[in-house]
Amino acid sequence: PYKKRYRLHELLRQYAIQRLEADQLLFETFNNHKEYFAEFLVKTENDIIGLNQLKAYGQIQEEFDNIRMAWNWAIKQDDYKFVDKALESLYWFCVFRGRIPDGEELFQRAR
């Protein structure tokens, strides 16, 4: 079934970031986002090595832009606990979905 996703216009996204910065909530918001996707990847890890691989890969594919954003924020904050949580699921996703260049880009940033 088709899942509806919200799209945020770039100007509205920029405005939201400015408001979060003004209210000193940007750091907390990005950390919450990062933690959500860390747990998301931990949960998908069992499916990736189990019987629900296709479902797990589809979920990661759907959230890949959010995962990339969380990964980049974690690296910027030197949060390698996030990297540790995310690594296995992302590795297998990139290998089996032919996203090696994406994986290389993410993993190089974590070096």
* 47 within a domain of the structure (yes/no): yes
Mean pLDDT, range 76-97, rounded to an integer: 94
Helices 26-48 & 53-62 angle (0-180, nearest 10): 160
**Which of 90, 87, 111 has its CA nearest to residue 99?**
90
- The winner for highest mean pLDDT among 16-20, 23-27, 65-69 is 65-69
Summary mean pLDDT of the chain: 92
Mean pLDDT, range 27-44, rounded to an integer: 95
Mean pLDDT, range 85-106, rounded to an integer: 94
- Does 44 score more than 70 pLDDT? yes
> In terms of residues, how long is the chain?
111
* 64 within a domain of the structure (yes/no): yes
* 12 within a domain of the structure (yes/no): no
- Does 66 score more than 70 pLDDT? yes
pLDDT at position 1, please? Answer: 52
* 90 within a domain of the structure (yes/no): yes
Q: Domain containing 80: what range?
A: 26-109
Give how many domains the chain has, as a whole number. 1
pLDDT at position 7, please? Answer: 84
Residue 51 has phi, psi (to 5 degrees) of -85, -10
pLDDT at position 49, please? Answer: 84
8 confidence band (pLDDT: 50, 70, 90): confident
